[in-house]
Structure 1
Amino acid sequence: MKFEIQTTDTASSARAGTFTTAHGEVQTPIFMPVGTVASVKAVHQHELKEDIKAQIILGNTYHLYLRPGTEILEKAGGLHKFMNWDRPILTDSGGFQVYSLSDIRKVSEEGVRFQSHIDGSYHMFSPEYSMEIQRKIGADIIMAFDELTGIPATYREAKRAMHVTHRWLERCRTWLNENPPLYGYDQTLFPIVQGNSFEDLRVESAKYVADFGADGNAIGGLSVGEPEDVMYNIAGLVCEILPKDKPRYLMGVGTPWNILENIALGVDMFDCVMPTRNARNGMLFTWNGVMNMKNAKWKDDFSPLDESGTSYVDSAYSKAYVRHLFVAKEYLGKQIASIHNLAFYLDLVRVARQHIIAGDFNQWKEQTVPKLKQRL
């Protein structure tokens, strides 16, 4: 994977860059829609490409391992062919998903033993097995297997998990070096910085990851319940240490304002289920604030769904119609809202990139963030 920085904002650490994978080029900063089980919920791949203009999507190793299973994916020739997506894909390692199964998992030096949320069957993820699964999935960017701790966590717990993550990282690299890619193109391994909210642990982990020499790096263990100022403090601290000539990926973040604030700190890549999850509950993000489409105020508002929106749904449907769909519990409402939110997120990072290149990103961000937070 190649990464080039075109411009850096003079008043912040925001960067406009480009990275290239076997399945195409991605302009940063970028948001990656989450395609949990080989699909972005309620959205066709055609809409992702042509309307939402997604450049790269994310797949979940844990969920794809359980369904449809690696045997099916390997027979199909990898996830790209299985889901008919010819642009880049990033897969997480499964670490966050098994972390979320706190009541039905057991962590050891070997890995994590857990029960399937589907049928209760037992499984074991080791660093090596996570790499094997991600080889068979065939993503362009794959994540190292890590252990994260929630908020709050004791210093001892966070330190132990961080060192386990570092040891697992070495095992990931060893396995990948011994087992070539399956589908004729390289896969790029991203290590993950851990350390919870403890600054000294984050510094230690960031230095370890920086010295690892990967083509890109990730920051994990944030957006798990900590206050926003803690998130920004840790992200900024880590970005100061991670190599400036490699892309930085902040995992699982977040709201539109979270994204802009972290772009200013030097983050290049984001993913989050929020745009589609909130869309299914009737929450729309716009340049002017957040809209609750179940609100009675939209009942007879026949204006376009979002006059500033870039998706076809924003001009094709009225606020009144979309509200009606949610009240009537019609699935079309969830589809329209999902397409709108994803298109907005992609527009958000695209416009942010334009302002970085123009040299006025920080000023624009300070004016934009308060508008994004408004409740309409």
Structure 2
Amino acid sequence: MKRSFLFCLCLLGALLGGAQNANAYLGSFEEQDGYRIPLNGQILSSFLAGDAQFYLNNIDANGFTGVVPLGTYPNTLGDGTHGADLSRYNAGQYGTNSGGPGGTAVDISDNSGLWRALAGGRLEEDSNAPYYYDGSFTRDYVHAYRYPGARTGQSVLNLLASETNLSYAYSLDSRDYGGTAPAATGSSLVQMAFWLCPSDWDDTDLDNILSLSLRDAANQTVFQVGYTGDNYLQYRLPGGGNWQTTAHRMGTAGWSELVVILDPVNNTAGIVVSAFDDLTSTLGVQTNVLSNQSLGLDAGALTELQWDLRGGPLNNGAASFKNFFDDFSFTLSPVLVPEPGSLILAGVAFAFVCLSRSRSGRPEA
């Protein structure tokens, strides 16, 4: 019933002519979305020093080893200014998908683009990073990764935190919102849909492993979703309370879809999930996990996302390896708020119904 109501609310917004849908900047993490990926050992955008050292070895014939780019570590092989880590080039700011400006990847000052490394990740890289297996896990990064199992296209967003926790922020752009400035979304119902594929490597760790935080223009964390080491969907309300673990386990052999609905006018949030089942190799039906949950604060426009991945020695001694995301899209719809006069009429009508039931002796439904 709640899921039907939520669907109708979003559909009504679209019928009113205010719905906008986009799949870009975050998008599918393809070269055309503004993310550097290898294609048979070649770079589709302009050459940046250090790329070939990694990408020429990361081809199908070599099994897509996933070795972190040598350029990720500052000053490795003379490259101290950029790397494939998303915080070190203009990730998401070029390409032609969804009305993008075109152009190509360019070197930028660290953390001066849409992506920023706040803690861990490339900030924790060391000289051991280029080695795939060297007796310990010493790779830390967030980058677009060419993966044969991508849900669509050739690339995914890949997070890995080996030695310590990582935290990366992404500033939403008008291209994400189909032309609407993020700061202007404070009066819109925001529906963010994306696909994720977690890891088996940390299954014995039952605590929260990854969180994706929705942050507003006032720098508030207004809502969080995430999952445990054994891949159970979680959510957390503002204020730093406990993670709420749901009964929905997202498989590692396929892609699960998550939809987060944020209503900054009524200060509520909701979650809809379609979880992939590894046992049956099928995608589950869309299920309403949370509907119109009060946030307990005055939320503003959704302007930023923040990924936090727990690294270091996990409960089973493994690494936070293979945390994949793909195919982000955003839909904006008007929020229906009854006018004061309508509320008064509704209150009078409700009182009349209650009075009639009281006189007739019928129980309330």
TM-score category, normalised to shorter length: under 0.3
| TM-score w.r.t. length of structure 2 | 0.28
**Higher alpha-carbon Rg:** 2
User: Which has a greater percent of strand?
Assistant: 2
| TM-score w.r.t. length of structure 1 | 0.27
User: Which has a greater percent of helix?
Assistant: 1
